[in-house]
Amino acid sequence: MDGWRNKGADLAAEDDGERMCAVGQRRWLRHRRRRTCATPTEPRNSSFLDRTLPSPTSRPLNNTASLQLVAMLRVGLRLATVGGCAAAAAAISKQSTNLKLDLDDATAFDVKESVRLAMAPGISAKCLATPQGKPCDPSKAEKPCKGLVTFLMLPDDMCEITYRVEGLTPGKHGFHIHEFADFSKGCLSAGPHYNPFGKNHGAPWDEDRHVGDLGNIEADESGVATGKLVDHLVKLHGPTSVIGRSVMVHADEDDLGKGDNSDPITRPPVNGKCSKVTGNAGARVACGEIVLA
């Protein structure tokens, strides 16, 4: 009998993460049914999931199975991070290997980054970049530029920055951190590059550069830019933390401070003549606040 009891205990421990995720999934589905039955004028109740987790329906999904998978992953992720449950985290990791079969690329990137940051030991942050309702030049884009950027402090105090941005024109685009997360006038009100040390604009590898100078990201023929970089000046802690500031994606390529700088004084800067200020990176097509993950 002891052998059967031990075997049962092992099986229960093995399935612990999946069972907790399933319980969270059922809870979320009950919550969704209550919201569906509410009248248009009925105020939305704030449940545990609404207060703690991003909505799985914020992006289009391919089918009902995808919706349920995202719900399960997000609930399980919350249990793993708040409760410190290794079994739940392991269950999420196992499920996330099949995300590409069920989700569109943007949603898969979002969920995978959420899992990765939750399981990483360092401080992490994220930024959802969009035109903030007021694109600089909507005539030049077939669809709005949007994307997700994540930040993770590494053990050597370097910052790993991972991004996926879509809706771009093919080619290189300036990629910066700006001083403010003020979007009252769309991305135009986010201020200049974050520059706490009073430096000139430059390349990420230059000594004379802004903290917010992250160079360029490059979009493929479908308008999607994905990648990762590691920077020594970007911090998520201390007096020069970028938390509460903004990520900015530009319409044009950043010349990295090597272009025309014939008019570095005029404000707002004159694009094409202020290389040491903006990198002549052109219009601001997407931006968003950097918040702790």
Q: Exactly one of 110, 213, 231, 252 is catalytic; name it.
A: 213
CA dihedral 288→289→292→293, nearest 10 degrees, is -20
Pairing of strands 213-219, 146-153: unpaired
Which residue bears the tokens 């399980």? 76
Cis peptide before 268 (omega within 30 of 0): yes
Q: Exactly one of 173, 201, 209, 245 is catalytic; name it.
A: 201
Q: Exactly one of 78, 164, 178, 209 is catalytic; name it.
A: 178
Chain centroid offset of residue 268 CA: 28
Q: Exactly one of 250, 252, 254, 255 is catalytic; name it.
A: 250
232 tagged catalytic: no
**How far is the C-alpha of 169 from the C-alpha of 226, rounded, in Å?**
14
Nearest to residue 256, comparing CAs of 280, 234, 233?
280
Q: Exactly one of 176, 209, 231, 252 is catalytic; name it.
A: 176
213 tagged catalytic: yes
Q: What tokens does 252 get?
A: 């044009």
Torsion sign, CA atoms 266, 268, 270, 273: positive
193 tagged catalytic: yes
182 tagged catalytic: no
250 tagged catalytic: yes
Q: Exactly one of 193, 231, 252, 254 is catalytic; name it.
A: 193
3-state secondary structure of 146: strand
Q: Give one DSSP letter per residue of 7-76, joined into a string.
A: HHHHHHHHTHHHHHHHHHHHHHHHHHHHHHHS-TTSPPP--HHHHHS--GGGS--SSHHHHHHHHHHHHH
Q: Exactly one of 164, 173, 210, 245 is catalytic; name it.
A: 210
31 tagged catalytic: no
Instruction: Give the residue numbers marked as catalytic.
Output: 176, 178, 193, 201, 210, 213, 250, 284
